[in-house]
Amino acid sequence: MTMKNKKPSRLAKAMLETASDMRQAGLLDKAAYDKITMRHLGVKEKTNLEPLNAEEIRALREQARMSQAVFAHHLNLTAGYVSQLERGIKRPTGAALALLNVIRHKGIEAIL
């Protein structure tokens, strides 16, 4: 299977399922299992997420013409957390940072 394929073939799926079962049964160590899965599923490079400051987060929300509560709902966050982000008390991390970067580059429509 080449890395260009988006989905593993039926044979690769069966082999990955067998490898998973062998790993769970203790017949295959973690290093061997990781090597098999990386080889057949491919390793995608992590996207470098750009940090956002409070003003940028507020600008994204205002460009989307949303209240903090509605914006928070679409990001699966609380309105209080969005408020803290916009005041600079907290900095977004993980999934919130990833979604904010998607909104920054593709617009709010990308997550609606």
Joined tokens for residue 65? 């013409």
Model pLDDT, residue 9 = 76
Q: Structural domains in the chain?
A: 10-41 (no CATH), 54-110 (1.10.260.40)
What confidence tens digit (pLDDT) does each residue in 79-104 have? 999 999 999 999 999 899 999 999 99
What confidence tens digit (pLDDT) does each residue in 27-57 have? 888 888 887 777 666 655 566 788 999 999 9
Q: How far apart are CA 16 and CA 56, in angstroms?
A: 43
pTM of the model: 0.60
Give the N- to C-terminal CA distance of the chain in Å, as an integer.
Answer: 34
Please check the confidence at residue 11 and state whether its pLDDT lies above 50. yes
